[in-house]
Amino acid sequence: MNRFTYTRPGDMAAAVREVAAEPAARIIAGGTNLVDLMKYNVERPARLVDITRLPGLDTIEPTPSGGIRIGALVTNSAVAYDERIGRRYPLLASAILAGASPQLRNAASTGGNLLQRTRCYYFYDPGTGCNKRKPGSGCPAKAGLNRIHAILGTSEHCIATHPSDMCVGLAALEATVRATGSNGDRTIPFEDFHRLPGDHPEIDTTLAHDEIITAVDLPPEDFSAHHTYLKLRDRLSYAFALVSVAAALELDGDRIKTARFALGGVAHKPWRDAMAEQSLRDRPASTDSFAQAADIALTDAKGYGHNDFKISLARQAIVRALAQAAAGTPQSQTDKRIR
């Protein structure tokens, strides 16, 4: 049995001190990922710092710049069903509702969703090697079961994917993460928050050990008129994405002024390709334009055997998602049939 202490600090400064003082401390919010990992013996914290009673982290409010700030403890359900999010950022609501189950979304927090760990089978099995769980112990997924693994941005040390749906929506919206730690407050552009595995697959994000996420800011541009979140998976519910696409367009007639699309299920972080997005500027919103952008985005895609199918699946998903966004017919998360 792994013995650990449990603390419930009353304010943020105390929470930061508790985490900073113990290298093996872990923050716990909804617990829907961390507790599973503790049961599997993957996470063995010496101290659990429960942040669920910290004041001021459970609100959704406007920002001075005309965007929306979502507190780190706001549940995934509360975000998805908030009237302002539904009206202005339906892309985010849709991405959240594509994930997990109602019970999980009721417990899962905004901060915890960003920091959930990969679903790689080997990562969850301490009986095998895994560079992410134990640096230097190898990556059995590369030559093993890799149906759910990455096709972009991999390294020789790890081919895991980031499993979140919400984060794919946040990437397309260009959200900002707000954090506080021993060195004070800082903001992190979403693009810079999650890392690629490189030589250090054990590090998922650029957040320091003693930093606590306080909020996520959505910028004023909401893409409410032309967006979609398309999630392709083995079952229609309660399954992680094989490939997902968050698409957001700004149109001038039938021409594209701005295009953004982020991919889930294909990389160690929500994946965007600036050249592919740029290729859509001033182009007609047509299947040809979307197919060309998909080809650019997948130029460097590489399969590892079982996941080879993801390359053509991602190509088709990008075209479908951009077409849905252009037509203003976003993917329904209650009727998940793709039309």
Ligand X SMILES: Cc1cc2nc3c(=O)[nH]c(=O)nc-3n(C[C@H](O)[C@H](O)[C@H](O)COP(=O)(O)OP(=O)(O)OC[C@H]3O[C@@H](n4cnc5c(N)ncnc54)[C@H](O)[C@@H]3O)c2cc1C
Instruction: Summarize as ranges the residues that interact with ligand X (CB under 6 A).
Output: 26-34, 36, 51, 72, 99-100, 104, 107-109, 111-113, 115-116, 163-166, 212-213, 240
Q: Least distance to ligand SF4 from the beta carbon of 158, Å?
A: 3
Of the residues 49, 85, 100, 160, which one makes contact with ligand SF4 according to CB under 6 A: 160
Q: Which stretch binds ligand SF4 (CB under 6 A): 101-109, 137-145, 224-232, 298-306?
A: 137-145
Nearer to ligand SF4, 159 or 317 (CB): 159
Let me know if 10 is exposed, middle or buried by CB neighbors in 10 A (0-12, 13-18, 19+).
exposed
Of the residues 26, 105, 132, 226, which one makes contact with ligand SF4 according to CB under 6 A: 132
For 144, residues 6+ apart whose C-beta sits below 8 A from its C-beta are 122
Q: Which stretch binds ligand SF4 (CB under 6 A): 1-9, 18-26, 117-125, 289-297?
A: 117-125
Give dist(CA 71, CA 110) in Å, integer: 7
* Binding of residue 140 to ligand SF4 (CB under 6 A): yes
Give which of 191, 227, 199, 192 is closest to 86, Cα–Cα.
227
Q: Least distance to ligand X from the beta carbon of 108, Å?
A: 3
Of ligand SF4, ligand X, none, which one does residue 139 interact with (CB within 5 to 8 Å by kind)?
A: ligand SF4
* Binding of residue 135 to ligand SF4 (CB under 6 A): no
Of ligand X, ligand SF4, none, which one does residue 126 interact with (CB within 5 to 8 Å by kind)?
A: none
Helix (H, G, I), strand (E, B) or coil at 91: helix
Nearer to ligand X, 212 or 246 (CB): 212
Q: What is the largest CA-CA distance in the chain?
A: 63
Q: Please, which contacts does 14-18 make with residues 24 or more away whose CB atoms are closer than 8 Å?
A: 15/49, 15/51, 15/54, 15/212, 16/180, 16/181, 16/182, 16/210, 16/211, 16/212, 18/47, 18/49
Residues near ligand SF4 (CB under 6 A), total: 15
Q: Please report, as a single letter, which amino acid is at residue 139.
A: C
Of the residues 33, 131, 205, 214, which one makes contact with ligand SF4 according to CB under 6 A: 131
Under DSSP, the state recorded for 75 is B
Nearer to ligand SF4, 164 or 289 (CB): 164
Helix (H, G, I), strand (E, B) or coil at 271: strand
Give dist(CA 280, CA 151) in Å, integer: 23
Contact residues for ligand SF4 (CB under 6 A)? Answer: 118, 120, 122-123, 130-132, 139-141, 149, 158-160, 201
